[in-house]
Structure 1
Amino acid sequence: MARDSYEVLGVSRDADQSEIQRAYRKLARKLHPDVNKDPGAEDRFKELSEAYDVLSDPDQRKRYDAFGENFRRVDANVDPDAYRRARAYAGADATGGRSGGWGGAGPYGDFRYSGSGDDVDLEDLLGGIFGARGRGRGGWGPVSGSDQETEVELSVEEAYTGTQRTLSLRDAAGPRTIDVVIPAGVVDGQRIRLRGQGGQGSGGGEAGDLYLIVRIAPHPRYRLEGRDLHVMLPLAAWEAALGTSLPIETPGGPATVKVPVGTSSHRRLRLKGRGLPNKAGKPGDLYAEAQIKVSKSLSAEERKLFEKLGKVSTFDPRSSQ
């Protein structure tokens, strides 16, 4: 069961929009994966973003207050007070907690309750509360479709430039395909909301939403941390010692990295703004990590030069200086 959105943001249930926004910004700065390297920070940041998405939207917040975590599954015409009374009667609280078992989904959330006694048909129960309200000649009136989610895997290059996908989905209406556009600069774990592309409604009810969960596949060259890209930069010993400028490939095209004099292995050389783009703020950076390499098969002349360097140099790599 998901944590209460107010609890996630650390605000009271009567907090105004400015309080909610301040709380989100404060926690987002603390938990953002670009800043917080704790293994659980990314999951907490996703939970925070989801809670803010709900509470920052007045309509969604109103429904969340009324129906709890079931708010996306409950028909728009359901009366909140009657809904709470019906669920309490069946042994469940308004936020979706259960004291027995439930079956398939209906317009009021879960459809059948099975407790210690006989089954209770929630449709009949709610029908007794509402009378004919919400029922058409053939049963329930307009019933909104359920929200759905699916994962979509992208390469680093696709995450950088944006891409298109044709998704194959299956729901109560049968199999279907939809074409979606993935914007440039998405990050791993990001949720993309497609309005009206979820489960189909019935009786004229609106379709639910489809949420795409972005997963960025491992890459043979790039390592991704949030929007920052990391890549290894092999250097010859003399390039590291004397400094140089080298071409480097990035997802956005060729770039040039300047290697300072006296660069050691593992030094990170930053190319500002050459990470994943970000339409809502600053882009990520690209970090080229120096990796000094030496040939395993030196020519006679190369060996003599290295021997000469070893005799004249006063550098001690094992010194703390």
Structure 2
Amino acid sequence: MAATDFKDYYAILGISKTSSADDIKKTYRKLARKYHPDMNPGNREAEAHFKEVTEAYEVLSDPEKRKKYDQFGQYWKQAGPGPGWSSAPGVDVNNFDFSQFGSFDEFINELLGRVGSTGPTAGRNPRWNYNYRTSTGGPTGFGGFENASGVGDRAAGTSADREGTITLTFSEAFQGVQRRLSLGNEMIDVRIPAGAKPGSRIRVKGKGQLNPYSQQRGDLYLVVEIQPHTFFQFDGDNLVCEVPVTPDEAVLGSQVEIPTPDGTVTMNVPAGIRSGQSLRLRGKGWPRPKGGRSDQLVKIVIVAPKDISATERELYEKIRASRSFNPRSHFQEIHL
């Protein structure tokens, strides 16, 4: 990535580098609601903003990604340490200036003294590309995998499998989607089945590296990432959402329209429900691998109105004057 392509995720969200995880989450939810395509139909600028804030949140909400982003800046995706890749002994990169290199590959080639690098003082070996992972570990990424001329860099017995990530929207993951992907000079069509969840691994047979010993190609594994949704979240196999109700709905009970992944349903809210209680919509959650759906858990949040009419105020005052229920009656029994 060129320096001019660098995205300042903190600036995109309008927060500082010292912002807490809770601040990042609250800010993202506010911006996501503001720019969500459903709230701005046909507004491409809002859609672009929504994608930007979602991308920024995906990085800054993940402690490991945020640490790499803070340390390596525009090269954070290529940078280690990561699974199967530990930093070279005695190398301190905490205050290293990466801006002098055209890419992270150039920095690595410089560090290891490879011949022919295009970095500041050393050379680059065209056979080496860091955008793949073997079964023995290594840097990750998708696209630009090592070409066939680079297999000689591997030790005998190394797996020819490779791994990358694929990012889906909630809708794509729920319904399933077909994607056309580029593997260097090769284009492949990959079908993602309905019900993929974060961390799911999709195996594409025969699309890995060429094993120089068996002359057979390994497999490609795609790890699924799902963009955050403004309403739904995962809770294990189930989906969870928060639904606000008014005090009168909580006291008297009511029927509330609830969004689900495949449409709106009517849910009965029982009289006397408490804020924080969860109701279950059976079979309205996420698709299961062997068929059927998980459940959708609806967390009730009682919301008191801030602006009320004179009539509403009068009625609330009458309720307060005649109310027999005291939710704090047990306080008299509390002592040290």
Give every structure 1 segment of 4 or more consecutive aligned residues whose post-TM-superposition deviation is greater than 4 Å. Answer: 201-204
Over residues 33-83 of structure 1, what are the superposed CA-to-partner deviations in whole Å (9 max), with x where a residue is unaligned? xxxxxxxxxxxxxxxxxxxxxxxxxxxxxxxxxxxxxxxxxxxxxxxxxxx
- Per the normalisation by structure 2, the TM-score is 0.50
Q: Distance in 2 between matches of 1:237 and 1:266?
A: 13
Q: Distance in 1 between matches of 2:330 and 2:172?
A: 44
Over residues 226-283 of structure 1, what are the superposed CA-to-partner deviations in whole Å (9 max), with x where a residue is unaligned? 3211111110111111111111111122222210111111110110121111132653
Task: Indicate yes or no: 2:295 matched with 1:285.
Answer: yes
Task: Indicate yes or no: 2:117 matched with 1:104.
Answer: no
Contact 1:187 1:226 in 2 (8 A): no
CA RMSD of aligned residues (A): 2.5
Q: Distance in 2 between matches of 1:239 and 1:270?
A: 18
Match of 1:192 in 2: 202
**Residue 311 of structure 1: how far off its partner (Å):** 1.1
**Residue 148 of structure 1: how far off its partner (Å):** 0.8
2:319 pairs, out of 305, 309, 313, with: 309
Q: Distance in 2 between matches of 1:209 and 1:152?
A: 16
Match of 1:134 in 2: none
Over residues 192-216 of structure 1, what are the superposed CA-to-partner deviations in whole Å (9 max), with x where a residue is unaligned? 1111121245698322101111112
User: Which SS does the other structure have where 1:283 is aligned?
Assistant: coil
Match of 2:263 in 1: 253
Task: Indicate yes or no: 2:172 matched with 1:180.
Answer: no
Over residues 172-211 of structure 1, what are the superposed CA-to-partner deviations in whole Å (9 max), with x where a residue is unaligned? xxx3221111111111111111111212456983221011
Match of 2:59 in 1: none
Contact 1:245 1:257 in 2 (8 A): yes
- Per the normalisation by structure 1, the TM-score is 0.52
Match of 1:65 in 2: none
User: Which SS does the other structure have where 2:228 is aligned?
Assistant: coil
Task: Indicate yes or no: 2:173 matched with 1:159.
Answer: yes
User: Which SS does the other structure have where 1:310 is aligned?
Assistant: helix
More strand by share: 1
**Residue 159 of structure 1: how far off its partner (Å):** 1.8
Match of 1:147 in 2: 161
Task: Indicate yes or no: 2:197 matched with 1:169.
Answer: no
Match of 1:237 in 2: 247
Contact 1:188 1:226 in 2 (8 A): no
Residue identity matched to 1:190: S
**Residue 319 of structure 1: how far off its partner (Å):** 3.8
The percent identity for this pair of structures is: 40
**Residue 298 of structure 1: how far off its partner (Å):** 1.2
Over residues 153-183 of structure 1, what are the superposed CA-to-partner deviations in whole Å (9 max), with x where a residue is unaligned? 122222211112222223xxxx322111111
Q: Distance in 2 between matches of 1:320 and 1:196?
A: 67
Over residues 80-100 of structure 1, what are the superposed CA-to-partner deviations in whole Å (9 max), with x where a residue is unaligned? xxxxxxxxxxxxxxx98xxxx
Match of 2:111 in 1: none
Q: Give unpaired runs (5+ residues) of structure 1.
A: 1-94, 97-102, 111-144
Closer, same or farther: CA 319–273 of 1 in aligned 2, 3 Å: farther
Closer, same or farther: CA 161–312 of 1 in aligned 2, 3 Å: same
Match of 1:119 in 2: none
User: Which SS does the other structure have where 2:314 is aligned?
Assistant: helix
Over residues 273-312 of structure 1, what are the superposed CA-to-partner deviations in whole Å (9 max), with x where a residue is unaligned? 2111113265321111111112211111100000000111
Match of 2:233 in 1: 223
Q: Distance in 1 between matches of 2:329 and 2:208?
A: 63
Residue identity matched to 2:298: A
> How many positions carry a matched residue from both structures?
182
Closer, same or farther: CA 281–236 of 1 in aligned 2, 3 Å: same
Residue identity matched to 2:153: G
Contact 1:227 1:283 in 2 (8 A): no
